[in-house]
Amino acid sequence: MKLAMFGAGYVGLVTATCFAEMGNEVVCMDTDAAKVEALQQGRIPIYEPGLEDYVRRNLEENRLFFTTDLAEAVAHGLILLIAVGTPQDTDGSADLSAVLAVAREIGRHMNGYKVIVEKSTVPVGTALLVRQAVSEELRARGVEFEFDVVSNPEFLKEGTAVDDFMKPDRVVVGCDDVRVAELMKELYAPFVRTNHPIIIMDVVSAELTKYAANAFLATKISFINEIANICARTGADVDMVRRGIGSDPRIGNLFLFPGVGYGGSCFPKDMQALIHTARSRGYEPRILEAVEAVNLDQRRYFVEKVLDFFHGDVQDRVLAVWGLSFKPLTDDIREAPSLTIISRLLAAGARLQAYDPKAMPAVQAHLGEPPGLSYAPSGYAALQGAEALLIITEWTAFREPDFERMRSLMKNPVIFDGRNLYHPPKMAKLGFRYFPVGQKGE
Ligand SMILES: NC(=O)c1ccc[n+]([C@@H]2O[C@H](COP(=O)([O-])OP(=O)(O)OC[C@H]3O[C@@H](n4cnc5c(N)ncnc54)[C@H](O)[C@@H]3O)[C@@H](O)[C@H]2O)c1
C-alpha cells in the first residue's frame, strides 16, 4: 500500500519504518529539515534499539522515503497517517495545533480520495476537528474530494518500540465506515498473524481508549507508590507486598514497581488532557487527579529524603546521579523525574555529577551546564568523591555494579535508590547506607 506519515518522531519514525518493513511504500514527512536530512542518510536522531537497522534496510530497498515536502507526501499516500506531537497546552488540554496544521495542509494538497489516520494521541472530538479543517480547505479551493478520518491510537513503548509495533497486543481502529475498516484490517494483517485482535470501534471510543490505557497504567504506578509510602511508615516491605499482590492475575506483576514516579512524553500530558476533557464535560475525575498528585509528591519525597539525611544542608556537597532518561533504553527526557530532582538539588546548592548511558546529550541540550551540574563519562566516574549516589533510572548496567569499586570511589558509601535495584541486607553487608523506596534500608 502507499502510505504517508506526517511526523518523524518516536512514533512516526517507528511506525513508518515498520509499515515499510512489511512491504508498504512509505513517504515520511517532517518539518524539521535537519532531521529529514539525517534520516535520508540512514542516521536516526533518537536512541531506539533496533530501529536504525530497519531504517537503513528500508531506505536501501526503496520502500521508505523521507521528505520535508508535504505536497509530495499527500500525493503519494492513499492512507495519510498523522503522528505529530500533541504536547500539553497551558490549560492542561492537548495542543492540537500541529495535528490541525497537517490536516489543513492535506486539504490544500489532496487531489483524490484519502484515508486520514490519527496516530497521534488526541482527545475525543479531534476527528471532527480534522474533518472540519480539511473540508474548509477543500471549500476554499472550490474542489470536492471524499475522505475518511480514522482514529488509530498507538500503544508502542519507547525502548521496545519496534518490537511492540511489529507484534502488537492489539490494534485499535476507530472508524465509521465498513470499507475503511476493511482497508485498515488489510494494513495491519501482517502484524497480527498470531491472532492478536484488531478491535474495530467508533472513532470517539478509539480516541478515548488511548487515554484510558495510559490513565490505568499511571494509576498502577501511583497505587504502588502510595503503598510504598505506607510501607515506609509501617515497617512493611513494598517488595514483598508487590510480589504478594502481583501474582493475582487480576492485579498482575507488570507496572507495579515503586519509584520516583512516572514521567515521559505520554503519561503526564495524557493524564492532564484526560482530566481536562472530563472537567470540560462537567465531570470531576477524582481518581485521575489523585494519581497525578501522588506522582508529583513521589519526586518531592525523594528529594526530601536526601535533604533530611544531610540535615537540610547539601551546599557544596558532591552527589552522584545515575540515570537521566525518563526510563531505561531511551534517550527521551521529556518530563523525566531526573530533571525535577536535579533542579531542586541544584537550587539547594548541591554539586551534581550525573551519568546516563544515552540521555546526557538531551539533558545538556535542555539544561546546558548550570553551575553545580557536570556530566561524567561513566557511572563510576560520577561517583568520584561523592557523598551519596542517587539512582533515578533503572538502566540494566546499574543493576549489578562493582560495589567494592563504588565504595572506594565515594567519599561516603550512601545510596538513595529511587528504583529499588538492590537487596537491602546485602547492601548493609557491603557497608553501604542504603535508602530504597518503601523498604527498610539501613
Ligand atoms: N513517544 C511515545 O512513546 C508515544 C507512544 C504512543 C503515542 N504517542 C503519541 O504520538 C504523538 C507523537 O509523539 P512523539 O513522541 O513521536 O513526538 P515527537 O516530538 O518525537 O515527534 C513529533 C514530530 O513531528 C514533527 N512535526 C511537528 N509539526 C509538524 C508538521 N506540521 N508537519 C510534519 N511534522 C511535524 C516534529 O518535527 C517531530 O519530528 C503524540 O501525540 C504522542 O502522545 C507517543
Q: What pLDDT is attached to residue 437?
A: 96
Ligand 1 binding pocket mutation candidate from 11, 118, 335 (most atoms within 8 A of CB): 11
All three cell numbers of 156: 508502542
Tens of pLDDT, residues 400-427: 999 999 999 999 999 999 999 999 999 9
| Residue 369 pLDDT level (bands cut at 50, 70, 90) | confident
- Measured at the alpha carbon of residue 389, what is the angle toward residues 388 and 395, in degrees to the nearest 5? 175
Tens of pLDDT, residues 83-124: 999 999 999 999 999 999 999 999 999 999 999 999 999 999
Is the CB of residue 202 less than 8 Å from the CB of residue 174? yes
pLDDT at 324 over 60: yes
Q: Could you give the percent of the chain with pLDDT greater than 70? A: 100
Distance 38 CA to ligand 1 centre (A): 17
Q: What pLDDT is attached to residue 195?
A: 86
Q: What is the distance, to the nearest Å, from the Cα of residue 180 to the centroid of all Cα atoms in its chain?
A: 29
- Mean per-residue pLDDT, 323-345: 97
All three cell numbers of 440: 527498610
Catalytic annotation present for 266: yes
Whether residue 151 has its Cβ less than 6 Å from ligand 1? no
pLDDT at 334 over 60: yes
Distance 123 CA to ligand 1 centre (A): 15
CATH match for 2-201 among 3.40.50.11900, 3.20.20.60, 3.40.50.720, 3.40.1190.20: 3.40.50.720
Listing DSSP states for 279-329 in one string gives: HHTT---HHHHHHHHHHHHHHHHHHHHHHHHTTT--TT-EEEEE--SSSTT
Tens of pLDDT, residues 184-220: 999 999 999 988 999 999 999 999 999 999 999 999 9
**How many whole angstroms separate alpha carbon 174 and alpha carbon 164?**
20
| Residue 396 pLDDT level (bands cut at 50, 70, 90) | very high
Tens of pLDDT, residues 247-285: 999 999 999 999 999 999 999 999 999 999 999 999 999
Distance 9 CA to ligand 1 centre (A): 5
Fold (CATH) for 238-435? Rossmann fold (3.40.50)
Q: What pLDDT is attached to residue 356?
A: 98
Instruction: Name the DSSP class of 92.
Output: S
Whether residue 10 has its Cβ less than 6 Å from ligand 1? yes
Q: What pLDDT is attached to residue 187?
A: 98
Whether residue 7 has its Cβ less than 6 Å from ligand 1? yes
Whether residue 209 has its Cβ less than 6 Å from ligand 1? no
Distance 69 CA to ligand 1 centre (A): 17
Question: Which ligand 1 atom is at minimum distance from the Cα of 94?
Answer: 41
Q: What pLDDT is attached to residue 368?
A: 87
pLDDT at 442 over 60: no
Long-range contacts of 298-301 (CB under 8 A, 24+ apart): 298/222, 298/225, 298/259, 298/260, 298/261, 298/337, 299/260, 299/261, 299/337, 299/340, 299/341, 301/229
**How many whole angstroms separate alpha carbon 330 and alpha carbon 159?**
5
Sign of CA dihedral 97, 327, 231, 389: negative
Is the CB of residue 39 less than 8 Å from the CB of residue 13? yes
- Give the mean pLDDT of the chain: 97
Whether residue 274 has its Cβ less than 6 Å from ligand 1? no
All three cell numbers of 349: 546548592
Fold agreement between 2-201 and 238-435: yes
Whether residue 265 has its Cβ less than 6 Å from ligand 1? yes
Tens of pLDDT, residues 49-63: 999 999 999 999 999
**How many whole angstroms separate alpha carbon 287 and alpha carbon 270?**
14
Question: Per-domain residue ranges for the chain?
Answer: 2-201, 238-435
Tens of pLDDT, residues 135-152: 999 999 999 999 999 999
Whether residue 331 has its Cβ less than 6 Å from ligand 1? no
Q: What pLDDT is attached to residue 440?
A: 78
Catalytic: which of 28, 175, 231, 266? 266
Amino acid identity at 176: D
Q: What pLDDT is attached to residue 16?
A: 98
- Mean per-residue pLDDT, 348-356: 98
